[in-house]
Structure 1
Amino acid sequence: MKLCQVLGIVALGVASFVIGILIGRFAITPDLPGWLKSMSSDGEPKYRSELQKEIQADKIEQNLRYFSSKPHIAGSTQDEDVLASHIYQTWQSSLHGAKIYNYTVLLSYPNSTDPNYVAIVSSDGVESDVSEKVEKILSADQNDPTVVNPFNAYSPAGVIVGNPVYVNYGAVEDFHYLTRNLSMNLTGTVAIARYGKIFRGDKVKNGQTFGCAGMILYSDPADYVAGDLDRVFPDDWWLPGTGAQRGTVLNTDGDPLTPFYPATKSAFFLDEKDINLPLIPVTPIGYNDAEKYLSKMAGNEAPGSWKGKLNLIYRVGPGFAPPLEERKLKLYVKSYNVKRTIRNVIGIIEGQYEADRYVVLGNHRDAWVFGAIDPSSGTATMMELSRAMSRMLERGWRPRRSILFCSWGAEEYGLIGSTEWIEEMGKVLGPRTVAYLNVDLSLAGNSTLRALATPILHKLLFEAAKKVENPNPEEVKAGRKTVFDTWVANMPSSNNPSIPRVGDLGSGSDYSAFLQILGISAADVRYTYDQKYALSSYPMYHSVYETMDLVSRLMDRGFKYHQAVARLWGEMALRLSDDVILSLDCVQYAVTMLRIISDVEEAYGPLLHSKSITPDSVKEAAKEFEAAAQALHRRAENVNKVNPLEVRKINDQLMLLERAFVDPLGVAGNLLYSCISERSACILPCFLNLHIY
């Protein structure tokens, strides 16, 4: 063999050896370290399955019995000491810790020894047809000395005597009908308005604007009784004629004495005379009492759309018909404002890898009376969900990201607890919070799920609902095995009937400050009533009859619907806390934005064009946003999960997308509403009727 041949063979062998080493080095991936493998993997599916099984209906029932056993209005010993302390101690012992945040805020109460009332009064001061000063006790569980009599929070005290006038729902167009179509002068009148359609505070503000001296609010059976008026509670779940709806009439969120700043002990507090409180006395009454006044009124017959379900001819006034034409309507209000301390309780499960990223779950604790539906059905559910997660912690589970449980104080007075916390902790929460998942109440009915959410959470809502067993056996028999199946059957989207309708978030619950101030993606879920009923809300809303008996006997025997809400809430929380790449759908955000622009153009196109305004620029910007969202979605799908920096980068882009719509100057100058993407399903701001609490 020639020397050159030998050298060739040796060279070939060396080359083969080197190539083999290179192949072994680069083609065969070594095992990842255990911590990195765990860090780059989604949470184990078994834990989500375990959570579904761990959530127990009977424990939710026990929780509700405890939380709704006594009235617990904000600022009371029962709410701020007994219940808040119970929640704190539970979370402190079962989770990774808990903390209480105290705020001193302005609250409002009726005078317990001098209750509010309405009456017909003669010129010499003789009263007749005096309204009930307390709600009639219909079952033993309502008979508690700490029940707060019906009132509207932040109404000024006063005694008003004037001609009654019926103003329908008290909307601006209702007042325009009276003043423009009928040329009625409303100065000094006492307006009678029915609850529904718009926020009660807007009714009062409108009455004040049009010159009314006072306002009476009542729940017309047309809006709260779908059945016969002779079959109401306690025989059925419809509102009885003696029920009165409490509620705030303040038109701002948070403590009115410390706007934009937390009401801590070192805060500067404004004087009451310097803040925008309601100026006219207001009180609620039941529809039995309302019938006494409406049936005696003079004036034109009300339009068809103004007519309720009471057995009378609805007339608009002003004044009473003969023989009572010389008599007036008297409104007697002795409510007062006072500073009280409220408490937020925060429970903490610390994340294993991204402890500085928070998935926040919340429910308010305070109720106008017993609150077995609002809010305690949600409180009972949250406490069971936190218990179930604590059991999983004992078995070795640990979320990737931190989970915070929040029990808010004084929500009913205007989202005070949650707003004050955002004002105090916003600099920390803004850049770190993945999403806020709210359950104001778990159960407004037992027909189907109802969800509100920012578009980025829609897909997660659908996927979670598909994982939860249907609590209704009749629906299961019909082939609808999951919560999603019944939801889409009852509430199909008008744009795509293969998915359910998801409502838009306004300012109706504690998600408001998270979304409207900080731009944090949010959702609110509950079970609700059959949509064939044209109700303003569930019938017993904010009345003394909202008790454990109502829920356990007439709404959710076995507490399976509460359990379904807890399971859905938990599934969403685990996906957001355990998935390596956040389950946030940026493409749906773009789709929703384009739809909204199209809707605005269809509804207001002629008006815009008449003002030489075209939507071309905003449509072009939305198209660019859609392309960017699709690109981000592709990158998120293909990201290298082993690279923690790449994962963090993508997740931060997804998480902070909502913040891109926050205007630091506020929408239309309102600093409490800074997120322009969620104004009543419209990019254009709308401040009417944002509240429903």
Structure 2
Amino acid sequence: MDQARSTISKIFNGEPHSYTRFNLTQNMEGDNSQVEMKLSSDVDEEVGGNGVGDHLNHNANGRPYIAQNFKHTPKNLCVMAGAALLVFIIGCLIGYAAYPKRAVAPVCSPTVRTFEDAAFRETGAAPLMDWDDVKKLLSQKLTASKLDSAFREFSKSSHQAGSPQDEQLGDKVFQRFKEYGMKSWTDEHFIRVQDPPSSGFNKIVYKDETEERLRGFLSYSGIGSVKGAVLYASYGQEGDFRLLRDKNINMNGRVMLVRAGKISFAEKVANAAKMNASAVLIYPDASDYSLGEDIELYGHVHLGSGDPYTPGFPSFNHTQFPPMESSGLPKILAQTITRGMAERILSKLGGQNLPEGWGAYNKLGNENDTMTVEVNNILTEKKINNVFGVIKGFVDADRYVVLGAQRDSWGPGFASSTVGTSVLVELARSISDMVKNDGFKPRRSIVFASWSAGAYGSVGATEWLEGYFSSLSMKAFTYINLDGIVTGRNGFKVAASPLLYTLIKNTLSEVTNMGISLSNQFAKSDWETNILESMQLDNAAYPFLAFSGIPSLSFRFTPGNSAQDYQYLGTMLDTQEKLNAATSTQVPQLAETAGRFAGHIALRLVHDHLLQMDLMKYNDIIRSNVVKINAKVKQVQRMQPKLLPKALTVQWLIQASGSYSRASRNLAKDIQNSDLEDVEMCRIINDRIMTVEKNFLSPYISPRETPFRHILLGTGSHTLRALTSHLDALKTDNPDANGSLFLNQFALATWTIQGCANSLAGDIWALDNEI
């Protein structure tokens, strides 16, 4: 009734009219003026100042309605009075009929209906192809034979980042994207990296005996020459160094000899630096690697990603940057040595006996086992190019999933880069063909990215993230990493954001390998235990997840649980012949399956009305961390009452955890009670989903000093895992522990979770939590 009175008032006062899907047309003495009124509060929202619903403001012929001013003659006034009465009566009737229906919102299944089954009305959405047809088309176009041909095109004996061979491969990828009719472009960066000495060499000398000249190297090592006593430290993990410290072994100035594996080279060096070591030597042990005794290892030791000389910002113009370095650059020397060199050193060490399980040798090393280490790496400036192609969406073209693959490598890099690049290009060809020739219309866009300088620590990808951080934060909703996707055939591993777990599970049951679904072949009874693994710092998807807050996914075929991992990554032996031997010459077939797995996930994310992300998966992770912190706080308050005040309570953290759980459940209800055929409604819901990962990035720390700001999956003192470790240190009165610092970290972590919950809950007026 109020709306009807308001409309009458506007007619007689000559106010401008609002036009919606409901209209009433009357001819008055040949005048084509049209009278229109609002009949739903929902429409008020659609035509509000935020532009939502603007696509509905057209008539059936697609022409905008036109309003003309009424002439206030007596005759017209009588006609208008009659029209107003008629409008009033119709408004009452429609309001009466509509009232019971507004009490309950329409319920739609979140699953996608086909276009033919949907009730006809103009929504602006692209017609949907049946999902089974989408899967069938992809399997027809992405074939092992096509991939085998791509292997030959994109394989090279050497294509180090910034080299002419790397540039040639980039040009090939660019040309393929252009041929497929994709919008294509390149992104140029000037980066600084460490390379082996162009003249001279790195070397070690044990006990002033024979000098060993080294060909393998670790980029971003400290530079210079040091002399110290050798100390064997197993894999160089934090627990290994704690065990040595518990044995009262002096580690100051020692040259740490550690095995490759378990953790990244960078983490090994960072752990040794905390013990005040002077250098780290890394070798492939015979129990982990079946490499020859003279095979060298290559890698980097930057505890981070991207160009470490432009931390937190992009290397677009090398002439504009102030001199600064990443906090993840090591100050100590780091170098790889061969297995043969390491075995000769280990056989001569004295000192204490090895702890149980530390290997076949007897002694850890003593103060007399001196070693001189000299590293002469050179800092080099290089120009690199990332190459991109995009298939634009038909509804939300400014929202996109990104598929990326490293293009460069230290040597042949067949498993590390060639397979991934080939799958990337073939997926681009296949999906482009589906759009051009088969009627597939993705709702959202797909970006294909070929990265350079991945071998130096995801440099190309991270520089892109840093350069377009603001643009990507609410546009890129998923990253799928194609590096190293085939390294064996008997196992299958996935590392991903918890938001993607349900989608991964469904995809495992859809994609077959040799006629058997990946789920039945590898998941067994518990897919999360048998397939999921944590995402490591040196994974190319990690900066997307922990630095940019983009839900990310990385996966690979592996040799299986009973066999050693693929041996040749980071060596000059990563060739097609070696990978054929590791997979029984099934590389094209496995690459096809891997491509379909990545393709299914990408296509599902751009096909459905709503992003298939399970917000509830983070509930258990947050809750388990809160339970640990609560228990440890009580222990510290009991054992070290001076360090933590009795007044400290975990209640606020518990409430923040509950707020997130409540917000995620409420969004699920909103989805059930929303019209998912409404384009704007879907966009609003998807935007709420996309805020989750981004809002787990702590806003209270510097991305320059601590780039991986994710409080659940990142690294640094801001994470919930770090809070737990800090409480353990407080419990033992460790000198590194600080009660005041813990209280600060605790408060900021609590509000980060609460802030994520508030953002997920929706608009500010929808919040029901008091600050």
* TM-score category, normalised to shorter length: 0.7 to 0.9
Corresponding residue number in structure 2 for 1:625 = 660
Aligned to 2:154: 67
Residues 609, 522 of structure 1: CA spacing in aligned structure 2 closer, same or farther, 3 A cutoff? farther
Q: Contact 1:75–1:107 (CA<8 Å) still a contact in 2?
A: no
- Determine the structure 2 residue equivalent to 1:167: 233
* Distance (Å, rounded) in 2 between the aligned partners of 1:30 and 1:56: 32
Distance 1:172 1:631, change over 3 A: closer
Aligned pair 1:557/2:599, yes or no?
no
Rounded to whole Å, the distance in 1 between the matches of 2:570 and 2:198 is: 18
2:344 to 292, 297, 300: 292
CA–CA distance in structure 1, aligned partners of residues 318 and 191 of structure 2: 13
SS at match of 2:262: coil
Structure 1 residue 103: Cα displacement: 0.8
* Shift in alpha-carbon separation, 1:452–1:560, aligned structure 2, 3 A: same
Structure 1 position 264, deviation (Å): 0.8
1:271–1:386: structure 2 CA closer, same or farther, 3 Å change rule?
Answer: same
How many Å apart are 1:570 and its aligned residue? 0.3
Is residue 218–residue 286 contact of structure 1 (8 Å, CA) maintained in 2? yes
In 2, Cα distance between equivalents of 1:282 and 1:266: 27
Deviating more after overlay: 340-349 vs 659-668: 659-668
- The structural deviation recorded for 1:43 is 5.4
How has the CA–CA distance of structure 1 residues 632 and 93 changed in structure 2, closer, same or farther, with 3 Å as cutoff?
A: same
Maintained 8 Å contact 2:398/2:445:
yes
Whether the aligned pair in 1 keeps the contact of 2:625 and 2:721 (CA below 8 Å) is: no
The letter of the residue matching 1:445 is G
Partners of 1:439 and 1:291 lie apart in 2 by 36
Match of 2:420 in 1: 378
Deviation of residue 615 (structure 1)?
4.0
Q: Any conservation in 2 of the 1:453–1:523 contact (CA below 8 Å)?
A: yes
**Are 2:506 and 1:454 aligned?**
no
Once the 2 structures are TM-superposed, how far is the Cα of residue 337 of structure 1 from its aligned partner?
Answer: 1.0
Q: Which of residues 188, 200, 204 in structure 2 aligns to 1:114?
A: 200
Q: How does 1:314-333 map to 2 (within 5 A)?
A: 314-320=363-369, 328-333=370-375
Query: CA shift at 1:177, angstroms?
Result: 4.0
Bigger-Rg structure (1/2): 2
The alpha-carbon distance between structure 1 residues 282 and 490, as it changes in their structure 2 partners (threshold 3 A), is farther
Provide the residue aligned with 1:141 in structure 2: none
Structure 2 residues without counterparts, runs of 5 or longer: 1-92, 102-115, 725-771
Residue correspondence of structure 1 range 575-614 to structure 2 within 5 A: 575-598=604-627, 606-607=635-636, 610=639, 611=644
3-state SS in 1 of match to 2:401: strand
In structure 2, C-alpha distance between the alignment counterparts of 1:42 and 1:54, rounded to whole Å:
17
Identity among equivalent pairs (%): 25
Could you tell me how far 1:503 is from its partner in structure 2?
3.0
Give me the TM-score of the superposition, normalised by structure 1: 0.80
- The residue aligned with 2:134 is 47
1:36 Cα deviation (Å)? 4.0
1:191 aligned partner: 256
1:102-141 pair list within 5 angstroms: 102-122=188-208, 127-128=209-210, 130-131=211-212, 133=214
Amino acid at match of 2:523: V
Report the equivalent of 2:446: 403
Deviations 1:207-256 (A, max 9, x none): 334343322111112233xxxxxxxxxxxxx3332223211111232212
Q: 1:198 to 1:509 in 2, by over 3 A?
A: closer
**Corresponding residue to 2:278 among 205, 209, 213:** 213
Instruction: Verify the 8 A CA contact 2:125 2:679 in the aligned structure 1.
Output: no
Residue 163 of structure 2, aligned match among 55, 62, 76: 76
How far does residue 515 in structure 1 lie from its aligned partner after superposition?
A: 2.1
1:117 to 1:68, Cα distance in 2 relative to 1, 3 A? farther
Opposite residue 340 of structure 2, the aligned amino acid is N
What whole-Å deviation, never above 9, does each CA across 1:455-483 have from its counterpart, x for those lacking one? Answer: 11111111111111123xxxx6xxxx201
C-alpha change, 1:523 and 1:55, in structure 2 (3 Å) is same
Deviation at 1:359, TM superposition (A): 1.0
Q: Give TM-score, length-normalised by structure 2.
A: 0.72
> Separation in 2 of the partners of 1:59 and 1:178?
53
* Alpha-carbon distance between aligned partners in 1 of 2:624 and 2:580, rounded to the nearest angstrom: 41
Deviates more, 1:669-678 or 1:87-96: 669-678
> Alignment partner of 1:677: what SS?
coil
Does 2:401 align with 1:359?
A: yes
- Of stretches 461-470 and 104-113 in structure 1, the one that deviates more from structure 2 is 104-113
CA distance in 2, matches of 1:541, 1:293: 25
Does residue 99 in structure 1 map to residue 180 in structure 2? no
How many angstroms does 1:550 deviate by? 0.8
* Residue-by-residue CA offset, 1:292-333 (whole Å, 9 max, x unaligned): 11111121221113225xxx434333334xxxxxxx433232
- 1:374 deviation in Å? 1.4
- Give per-residue Cα distances to partners, 1:428-459, cap 9 Å, x unaligned: 11111221112221123212221111111111
Q: Structure 2 CA distance, aligned partners of 1:383 and 1:656?
A: 30
What secondary structure is seen at the aligned counterpart in 1 of 2:380? strand
Distance in 1, Cα, partners of 2:666 & 2:384: 46
* Structure 2 CA distance for aligned equivalents of residues 403 and 314 of structure 1: 55
**Alignment-mate amino acid for residue 584 of structure 1:** M
In structure 2, what is the equivalent of residue 659 of structure 1? 694
Task: Tell me the equivalent position of 1:201.
Answer: 266
Q: Give 1:165 shift.
A: 2.2
Counterpart of 1:10? none
CA contact (8 A) 1:154 1:336 kept: no
393-402 or 284-293: bigger deviation: 393-402
Give the secondary-structure state (helix, strand or coil) at the position aligned to 2:454. Answer: coil
SS where residue 415 of structure 2 aligns? coil
CA shift for structure 1 position 608 = 7.1
Residues 267 and 673 of structure 1, relative CA distance in 2, 3 Å threshold: farther
- Structure 1 residue 574 corresponds to structure 2 residue 597: no
Structure 1 range deviating more: 88-97 or 586-595: 586-595
Partner of 2:475: 432
| Aligned with residue 673 of structure 1, among 684, 708, 714 | 708
The amino acid that maps onto 1:417 is: G
How far residue 685 of structure 1 moved from its aligned partner, in angstroms, is 4.8
**Cα gap change, 1:82 to 1:605, in 2 (>3 Å):** farther
Relative to structure 1, the CA distance from residue 362 to residue 626 in structure 2 (aligned partners, 3 Å threshold; closer, same or farther) is same
Instruction: Say whether the 8 Å CA contact 1:151–1:284 is kept in structure 2.
Output: yes
Question: Where does residue 15 of structure 1 map in the other structure?
Answer: none
- 1:527-579 deviations in Å (ceiling 9; x for gaps): 1232245x6x5322201111111112332523222111100100001100111
Does the alignment pair 1:521 with 2:551?
Answer: yes
Structure 1: 5+ residue runs without aligned partners? 1-17, 134-148, 225-237, 321-327, 495-499, 689-693
Q: How does 1:338-357 map to 2 (within 5 A)?
A: 338-357=380-399
Task: Report 1 or 2 for greater relative contact order, CA contacts < 8 Å, sequence distance ≥ 6.
Answer: 1
Aligned in 2, Cα 1:77/1:332: closer, same or farther, shift over 3 Å? same
State whether structure 2 residue 678 is matched by structure 1 residue 643: yes
Change over 3 Å in CA distance of 1:617–1:273 after alignment to 2: closer
The answer for the alignment partner of 1:509 in structure 2 is 539
Residue 538 of structure 1: which of 550, 566, 573 is its match?
A: 566
- Retained in 1: the 8 A contact 2:465–2:544? yes
- The residue matched to 1:678 in structure 2 has which SS? coil
- Asked if 1:485 corresponds to 2:520, the answer is yes
Structure 1 vs Structure 2 CA RMSD: 3.3
> Is 1:415 matched up with 2:464?
no
SS of the equivalent of 2:593 reads helix
C-alpha distance in 1 between matches for 2:391 and 2:207:
60
Offset at residue 639 of structure 1 (A):
2.3
Cα gap change, 1:41 to 1:636, in 2 (>3 Å): farther
Higher mean displacement: 415-424 or 56-65: 56-65
1:34-68 alpha-carbon deviations (Å, 9 max, x no partner):
87485374655312221022211122233334433
Whether the 8 Å contact between 1:40 and 1:644 is mirrored in structure 2 is no
Residues 161-170 or 48-57, more deviating: 161-170
What does the per-residue CA deviation read over 1:636-676, in whole Å, with 9 as the maximum and x for residues that have no partner? 23421232221111121122222232222338994412222
Give yes or no for contact 1:168–1:174 (8 Å, CA) kept in 2: yes
